[in-house]
A and B are shown apart, each in its own frame.
Chain A
Amino acid sequence: MSDVPAAAPEPIPAEPSAPDKSRARLTGAVIIEAITQGSSTVNTILAIFLALVVGGVLIVVSNPLVTHAWGSFFAQPGYTLGQTWHAVSFTYTQMFEGAILNPSTVNAAFHGGSVAAIFYPLSSTAAQATPLILTGLSVAIAFRAGLFNIGAAGQWVGGAVVATWLGFGVSLPLGIHVIVCVVGAFVGGAAIGWFVGLLKAKTGAHEVIVTIMLNYVMYDLLQYLLSHPAMLQQPHQTNEIAPPIANNANLGHVGGPPPQVGVGFLIAVGAALAVAWLLSRTTTGFQFRTVGASPSAARTAGINVERSWILVMLLAGGLAGLSAATVIQGTNTQLTFNSYGTYGPDGITVALLGRAKPIGVVLAGLLFGALHVGGTYVEAATLGQVPADIVTVLEGLIVLFVAAPALIRAVFRLRATSGTGMEAVAKGWNG
């Protein structure tokens, strides 16, 4: 400690979030330039397109009808190509109809059908995206301070346990109960995250090891709690399941039937805005980003690096806990051993696709939510001919191509420019 000047030069002016210096007018020339040189947006669109093409190859290769048709390609090329196009377009159309908009419901609405049905897919997408956005934010905010949070899953469990316990264990009036549970979930997750940050700050223990180990500890703890009626298990149950939370603790939704959005989704968007504000407009956020860019430079500048690590992990854990709240209080109402699902690992992918920026994470979360809904829908629509796992492949391909602009430029023959490269999202092991 004695090496560092005691009085930190405070306050450090919060750096404005880099406004576009050349706020380009949307003239034709600018748009053409963006397309030929591959701006970030164009790159992303091309990356998604390329991912759909490669995913299409997988759909075709694994469809026996189509591979059979390719066997007689020279005899009947038209039929072959038709079958191929049909297999791919049918899958993607079904996915779109399941996740975004089904034209037949619009048509039905004009002929006296329900208007609600039009919005059903979008509502499901928002519901699926909610926990992903929050775990994505959890991973993203840690990335910004140079830490790799693989432990969103464990922090999720921490939040879920507290939310469940407050949800059925206490009896509070409407309104207050919900808030108590959500805050409890934040605190439950934050406690786990704080512990990781504390160990890193005080002893130098690497956060990757500690978070992975804590995930296992939390899974085991969850199993223990759910298998003892004195703890969290529902009485007279042999399964590992907690009692349903009280009605007062349910997050509910705004609007509906179907044009509806869960309160959990609003929490997720609110959290994203809060994180964006924190990172770009406050001293703390500036310190996080400086520590992320270079811990030693931050320390030389008088920033308390250890404090930043602890605080950012506390917030990351809290965000993962909120993710649990939106699931337990929003869609599931009962905590089971499988509740944690894949929110933790998916959060890493979402954060990386969103380039660790809050707004990017929201968009990435929505895309992944839509893919999940679409995948389930397409599996049902094709009677299992196209498994829902196709969306996992698509997710991987999209992130791969988005993060490799050099490849996109090579494939689509875009001119290479200086300055459109990816900035580093994640730091190496040495911080």
Chain B
Amino acid sequence: MERVTALATAVRAPLTVDRRYLAAVTFGVLGLIDIVVFGLLALRHSGDASFNLSPAGSGVQIPTIRVAAGSACFALGVVSLGLGALRGFMPLSRRSKRLAIASVLLCFVISLLCWADAGAIPLNLVNILQGTLIASIPLVLGALAGCLCERSGVINIAIEGQLLFGAFAAAIFASAFGGLWVGLVAGSLAGGLVGVLLAVFAITFLMDQIILGVVLNVLALGMTNYLYDRLMAQNPNYNTGNTFSTIKIPGLSQIPVIGPAFFDSNVFLYITYIAIILVQVALFYSRWGLRVRAVGEHPTAADTVGISVVWTRYRNVIIGGLIAGIGGAYLTIGSVGSFNPNISSGFGYIALAALIFGRWTPLGSVAAALLFGFCLELALVLPTVNPALPSPIMNMAPYVATIIAVAGLVGKVRAPAADGKPYVKA
């Protein structure tokens, strides 16, 4: 993909640390955190960590798993160190490298949970998995929206604004017209409206796309705060707080562990599944997607072979807005019900980080969004499990792990070549 010329090779960024050893050292650092931080702290609490794998009242009960927390942390840390040594000294295939990264991160997560739960009430892993998926919904949809925009060459920092405006519109339309589906459609359209603004100013008026995205976020925040004060705060009928009810998928929801986590939620989770599949297939397995990516990488070439750059970008930015709007609608009518000022509280920026972390691919972004969703879920759950622990430090751990992972494992990422550059026909 990368256009390598003699000059480009000569001036390539001289990263002073070799990626192979950096990854090995990163594995080692994560392993040492498992052992030194989580392991030793867990020993001080002297107790077993116990994990539940079946939700309360489910038909199939799986016995609670008990492990000695300290020893488990030590073992997981040793595994990570071993993988680090393997990564440093053995030539690994691409697939095994990814497997190694996933294993080390999993070890980190499990030892974090072991430490948090040492000597406390059992931690229900199914609930955590379910909570992670649900918390990821706005992040996943936001990241997919960004993916559609940026693959066609328009930088989308306005994800935050699209989520916020979608959340507001969904709440007010669902309340005023008494229909949750009306709210869902309205939320999606509101996100699309922000997408239209983004498209008009970025593509037609050639405005700097970073400024534009930030401005649209400010405008969405200001408008929703203002309208909240003027309409909702004075008239609760505009903010009734109804939410979609849970739909159990028959059959699939009976599978132990996976069923309750993946197939027992409201409609937003299922929409998210569909969106992930659609965006991935459309972008990478269809002629449509090939054209979109061509426009994002080399618009002049795409134009030469007869693809309309402007139309492609307009279409993608607006579709992205519609998707992010659904994510926004989730924040109100899919979870808490009523709208509150700044309810998106930075989720759009986390989605943006997930998009970059995932190297502008749908599946990568989804994986990163799930990681961030897990962070959000832990922050909710852990204080209730073990109040004695310093919850801010635990909340911090996943973000620190993300920084370590980004620095040590992902490294330099490359955006679509024409991302952020307005196209002016020569």
Contacts and interface: CB of A to CB of B under 8 A. Distances in A.
Interface string B189-227: 000000000000100011111111011101101110111
A399 B208 CA distance: 11
Given A208-B352, A352-B211, A392 B225 contact: yes
A62 B205 contact: no
Contact of B403 (A199, A228, A387): A199
Nearest to B418: A428
B208 A425 contact: yes
A404 interface: yes
Given A217-B400, A403-B215, A206 B356 contact: yes
Interface in B317-372: 346, 349-350, 352-353, 356-357
Interface string A296-316: 100110000110000000000
Nearest to B161: A396
A224 interface: yes
A58 interface: yes
Contacts of B349: 150, 212
A19 interface: no
A390 interface: yes
Q: Which of A209, A223, A305 has the most CB of B within 10 A?
A: A209
A16 to B, nearest CB: 26
A348 interface: yes
Contact of B229 (A384, A421, A422, A428): A384
Contact of A430 (B207, B222, B392, B414): B414
A204 B392 contact: no
Nearest to B352: A208
Q: Looking at B10, B155, B226, B417, which has the most chain A CB atoms within 10 Å of its CB?
A: B226
A205 to B, nearest CB: 4
A393 B223 contact: yes
Contacts of A12: none
B11 A407 contact: no
Contact of A224 (B13, B390, B407): B390
Which of A214, A216, A299 has the most chain B CB atoms inside 10 A of its CB?
Answer: A216
B396 interface: yes
A199 B407 contact: yes
B12 to A, nearest CB: 7
A203 B210 contact: no
Interface stretch (B15-23, B53-61, B123-131, B180-188): B15-23
Given A399-B211, A404-B205, A425-B211, A62 B402 contact: no
Nearest to B412: A204
A404 B211 CA distance: 10
Given A208-B353, A224-B393, A400-B219, A217 B399 contact: yes
A400 B215 contact: yes
Given A205-B403, A349-B214, A403-B212, A428 B420 contact: yes
Q: Contact residue range for chain A?
A: 35 or more
B201 A404 contact: yes
B179 interface: no
Contact of A387 (B229, B352, B400): B229
A265 interface: no
B421 A393 contact: no
A220 interface: yes
A421 B206 CA distance: 10
A213 B353 contact: yes
Nearest to A59: B226
B356 A208 contact: yes
Contacts of A205: 403, 406-407, 410-412
A389 B208 contact: no
A406 interface: yes
Contact of B11 (A2, A296, A389, A430): A296
Nearest to A391: B222
Nearest to A209: B353
Contacts of A295: 13
A206 to B, nearest CB: 5
A84 interface: no
29 contacts: A1-B14, A3-B9, A3-B12, A203-B411, A204-B411, A204-B412, A205-B411, A209-B403, A212-B352, A213-B400, A213-B402, A214-B399, A220-B395, A220-B396, A227-B392, A299-B13, A306-B16, A387-B225, A389-B229, A395-B222, A396-B215, A396-B216, A396-B222, A399-B214, A400-B212, A404-B201, A427-B210, A428-B419, A429-B420
Interface of A: 1-4, 58, 62, 148, 150, 199, 202-206, 208-210, 212-214, 216-217, 220-221, 223-224, 227-228, 295-296, 299-300, 305-306, 345, 348-349, 352, 384, 387, 389-397, 399-400, 403-404, 406-407, 421-422, 424-430
The 4 closest A-B pairs by CB, nearest first: A204-B412, A392-B222, A428-B420, A396-B219
Interface of B: 8-17, 22, 155, 201, 205-212, 214-216, 218-219, 221-223, 225-227, 229-231, 346, 349-350, 352-353, 356-357, 375, 390, 392-393, 395-396, 399-400, 402-403, 406-408, 410-415, 417, 419-421
Given A205-B403, A428-B420, A429-B155, 6 more contacts: A3-B14, A223-B392, A392-B225, A400-B201, A403-B211, A425-B210
